Structure 1
Amino acid sequence: MTTYIPQLTLPEQVFASAPASILLPVALGTTVGYSTRPKQTKETYNLIRQPPLRPPPWVFGPVWTVLYGLTGYGAYRGIGLNLTSILPGTMSVARRAATLYTVQLGLNLAWMPLFFGARRPAAAMLDVLALLGVNAYLARLFFGARDGLADPVAGWCWVPYLAWLSFAAYLNAGVGYLNGWDISDAALRRREAAGKGAQ
């Protein structure tokens, strides 16, 4: 388990307020989404070779908005409501969970710039795998497994998130494999030219 690192953790006031806890990840996710140039992202998404079951591009915005809101509410329930607990050890676990939540939020926000900004599917894959690990541990804490925070509602808020992250890892790995782990502009242009030449 990680330790509580105040410099690396969102302020406790964020977790103590349900609206702040919900709106902060939604606002940060929206900001990152728009900062990576949505039009160019959509073009890249349509040019890269994709594995089966890929959703249309318009699905991602609504899904991530709901997931950010759910995890924000889960963080409020699982962390915020336990930061003032008088139960032995609960406040300490809540603080460590707050650090983990902050780390996972940073990892989540880094994925889109890694994949679509830097065009590094291998780095994005490592990011999403780390994200899965941290969030599986957070869900375990929220469900109350050993030294947990025992808030099943918070735990259930993490289940759709973990399912979507697993799907995102599949998509990331599929894109990486099908594109030789290279989705740079030059590689995409070469594939597009080769496709036109084959017609």
Structure 2
Amino acid sequence: MPPETTGSDESGEPTSVPDPDGLDLARRIARQVNAGTPAPQPAPRRRRRRPAEPLSSGARPDDRDPQPIGNVLRRMVEERGWRTDLDVHALMARWPDLIGPSNAAHCRPEAYEDGVLTVRTSSTAWAVQMRGIAPAVITRLNQQLGSEVVRRILVKGPDAPSWSHGRLRVKGRGPRDTYG
């Protein structure tokens, strides 16, 4: 313990004052600083909340279990509304298999919009034939694709060549021939 020094207070009485060095000095300063503030209260203990759902699944199948990739992709396609787009792409890719090789050699799908499939043919004869079998083709396409993707087929014949070349041209009907 540090040596005590003797001094006198304002009234002149002798007092023993501890040496202001060390631990006593620190305690006195701490008391003066904390004199105006209330003692801190301990924080209330919080209860840990248990998760509402367990972190692991039980014995029965659950959404948190690993899923086959086919099921996950199928669910994602349905949620995002990609079913029709995928069916149309499958139709375009499998066209020869769906309508047969001879028809596919002379008819090709050109566009699809709102249930209408536009088909371009190589000649007017093939366009007439395709218009005749269109209902059967629609039924077969929808059976093969597994959904009601195609509601109507719009058949177009071949494009005729343009006879207007250059800056000068004669107005009128121009040459007539059976193109397609």
TM interval, shorter chain, is under 0.3
TM-score (normalised: structure 1): 0.25
Q: Higher helix fraction: Structure 1 or Structure 2?
A: 1
Q: Higher strand fraction: Structure 1 or Structure 2?
A: 2
Higher normalized contact order (CA 8 Å, seq sep 6+, divided by chain length): 1
TM-score (normalised: structure 2): 0.26
Larger Rg: 2
